[in-house]
Structure 1
Amino acid sequence: MTALSPALAAHLADAILLLHVGIVVFVLLGALAIPLGAWRQWRWVRGFRWRLTHVLLMAGIALQAWLGALCPLTVWEQALRERAGQASYGDSFIAHWLARLIFFEAPWSLFVAAYTGFALLVIAAWFAVPPRRGR
């Protein structure tokens, strides 16, 4: 990263942050859309690639938490922010923003439990509202 200017590093960090927010929104709203879509008979909620992406993302998030690893997007964003001379944070993306949004501080084990529970919910939705291949 030595070739990056601080301004470019800041823009890249912001782009990673937007991507990260997009993934969080996709995972959260996707989990809500599956049962709602099954009830409303929305065909797209049974799309195989969409559902596979959803379940793999959540399983990966839970696995990272169990391993005590930060999300690579968090690591990259923090490194770019440091290169840009901006402040970074030491927790996971979710832990940091939850703390900032609702002043909620908790041990990492609580986030591991939350990620695991949410991953189990997403996996249960896979079976309760099974995806379909093809049209």
Structure 2
Amino acid sequence: MTYRLAADALVLLHLSFILLVLFGGLLVLWRRRALLVHLPALAWGLAVEGLHLECPLTDWENRMRAAAGSAGYQGGFVEHYIWPLIYPAGLTPGVQLWLGALVLALNLGVYGYVLWRLARRHHE
């Protein structure tokens, strides 16, 4: 039971991290210091998507599930939990690259706005 709860908690942590990668730039609009947390998270998230790396949280969760007596899952967190909610088909490397590019574009836009605001304040 404890291992299963730990695995479930890891799923929530994993989802929280993904949300930070996706929307952490918006936190920077509110508190500029959030970029100290968001930029490394964004870099890791883009590396995982763009280079098709395995996320350690997925492996950790699978080990917890195996210790609880259930089978782990193949693939990554996004493929297992998130992607089926959005699309029933499998995640391809090409789609992963497009998703990574979308995340990068979104965050570049937010950071561009933050820099523009800072520059405008500096010139006033």
TM-score, normalised relative to structure 1? 0.69
Residue of 2, 11, 22 corresponding to 1:8: 2
Structure 1 residues 56 and 124, CA, compared in 2 at 3 Å: closer, same or farther? farther
Tell whether the 8 Å contact from 1:70 to 1:92 is kept in structure 2 after alignment: yes
Residue of 52, 63, 69 corresponding to 1:68: 52
Tell which has more relative contact order, 1 or 2 (C-alpha 8 A, sep 6+). Answer: 1
Structure 1 residues 79 and 65, CA, compared in 2 at 3 Å: closer, same or farther? same
Higher mean C-alpha deviation, range 71-80 or range 52-61: 52-61
Percentage of matched positions with identical amino acids = 27
Secondary structure at 2:91 match in 1: coil
TM-score, normalised relative to structure 2? 0.74
Secondary structure at 1:87 match in 2: coil
Structure 1 residues 88 and 61, CA, compared in 2 at 3 Å: closer, same or farther? same
**Structure 2 unmatched runs, 5+:** 119-124
Question: CA RMSD of the aligned region, Å?
Answer: 2.5
Secondary structure at 2:53 match in 1: coil
Q: How many angstroms apart in 2 are the aligned matches of 1:46 and 1:27?
A: 16
**Structure 1 unmatched runs, 5+:** 1-6, 35-43
Q: How many angstroms apart in 2 are the aligned matches of 1:48 and 1:55?
A: 11
Query: How many residues were matched structurally?
Result: 116
